[in-house]
Structure 1
């Protein structure tokens, strides 16, 4: 918007904001007009956040007015240049409305009736029946990783702490890490992406597979930090993923299949009800008979 027009709108909006909501709904103050379309002050006041400053309100109102004017001009230009057939959108609107209410109805049925509980046995059965679908596309590990400032690191102590993976030992390691380490990752129960872990290393790992095969405990250094990674377990690319690593994915797959079947059953039940209650008829196109 040109500056002089922006300033003009700013002065108008400022005046309207000062007036507040003095004008009644039946005597609303116009703010802008394009053809026979009018934008009123009440529409501006509705979009302004409560407790916003006068300056912010003016900026928001100006932006709203500018967008409204551009939209109305575009609508006007389209209306002038499209044929009556092109402007007839009744069929599209009806199709959109029908799709929307069906979508909302199905979603409401899903919320009310779909069983979302997936048992452990269901997950295990799905996993065993679809093993080939769960080959890994990356390496995953169970590991312990610490990054400690060199002047604070005690490598012998750190290695001793890492070796003890009992509940008490891990608690002691966490306490040590919270005191001295810059970064601590303790994943002895959960699988994690090795690629994410190795981003913390001071050197690039060119072959994750070789690294994991050759190292159970790896120490690294740079000018500032001492690094230690202990690989507790690993799975390589193309290995079958552990069930606990893909458990959530399997649950979502089961629920999605359950939802598809649920909706298909709903459609069939509604169709059967329509037949039983004689709610529709299909005509023979050639004889125009039922």
Structure 2
């Protein structure tokens, strides 16, 4: 059960709030987890939750301590391995931040894309499209169609102004590739076959009892098509950086080993018997 108490103590003493066996939870520890400016009600709720979790954890630790053997509770080896792994991890990350080249040029991205086309086949259809959903009693289909057809910067601004006044929902992606499935979620009816829908025509009008819908497909790529480079640019950058990171860390390990050999920092013992 949670221990409900009022806000932070104004006294200098660090009062105990809970105990399990000889372990004691003090107010200062609970105060550390409370955000600044929190209300008294939220402070009590968060504090009580923390106290409950602390009690349950300490009881579990106590029960484990009572039931595990001395050998099972000897964690020195595991702790040493964890400490070593953590130190190495932090050291490598620091080296990466300080010394690894993280600049990826457009030329490098294009070369990677051109040299690995099979890596960038699409798993789903993508489109450049404009979608508008307008209440049926406000819709002027001919006007909307003319606005949607103009993909110039001025035309898109005019469409946005119109949609700001009348549209219930809009997605203007005339210059940006998006997942067709994400766009389709806005349709009144599910599309059974992406390829048929996308290849049949460029402009679709739909209606239900409340809304008029219009979808203009400016461009599309189907599942298994080669993804446009702009759609996978960030993925390629991450791939290049990951490969660079693997190579960099391998070189670091080799350099440290070479230094160890040169400075005779280690010795391998001959364990062969005569």
TM-score under structure 2 length normalisation: 0.90
* 1:237 Cα offset (Å): 1.1
> Which residue number corresponds to residue 284 of structure 1?
270
Gap change, CA 1:226 and 1:74, over 3 Å in 2: closer
Distance change (3 Å), C-alpha of 1:50 and 1:255: closer
| Counterpart in the other structure of 2:213 | 227
Distance 2:135 2:27 in 1: 62
Q: Mean alpha-carbon deviation: is it higher for 58-67 or for 195-204?
A: 58-67
Tell me which stretches of 4 or more aligned residues in structure 1 moved more than 6 Å. none
Matched, 1:173 2:159: yes
What is the distance in 1 between the residues matched to 2:149 and 2:95?
A: 53
Uncovered stretches (5+) of structure 1, i.e. residues with no partner: none
Distance in 2 (alpha carbons) for counterparts of 1:52 and 1:175: 41
How many residues get paired? 274
3-state SS, counterpart of residue 87 of structure 1: coil
| Structure 1 residues 1-290: aligned runs within 5 Å | 1=1, 9-10=3-4, 13=5, 20-23=10-13, 29-50=15-36, 52=38, 56-286=42-272
**Structure 2 residue ranges without an equivalent (≥5):** none
Contact 2:122 2:227 in 1 (8 A): yes
Distance 1:244 1:47 in 2: 43
Query: How far did 1:284 drift?
Result: 1.2
Q: Given the two structures, how large is their TM-score scaled by the length of structure 1?
A: 0.85
**Shift in CA distance, 61/225, structure 1 to aligned 2, threshold 3 Å:** closer
CA distance in 2: counterparts of 1:237 and 1:63, whole angstroms: 48
Output one character per residue of 1:28-49: Cα deviation in whole Å (capped at 9) or x when no partner.
5444443333334443444455
Greater per-residue helix proportion: 1
Structure 1 position 214, deviation (Å): 0.6
- Bigger Rg over Cα: 1
- Indicate conservation of the 8 Å contact 2:8/2:31, yes or no: no
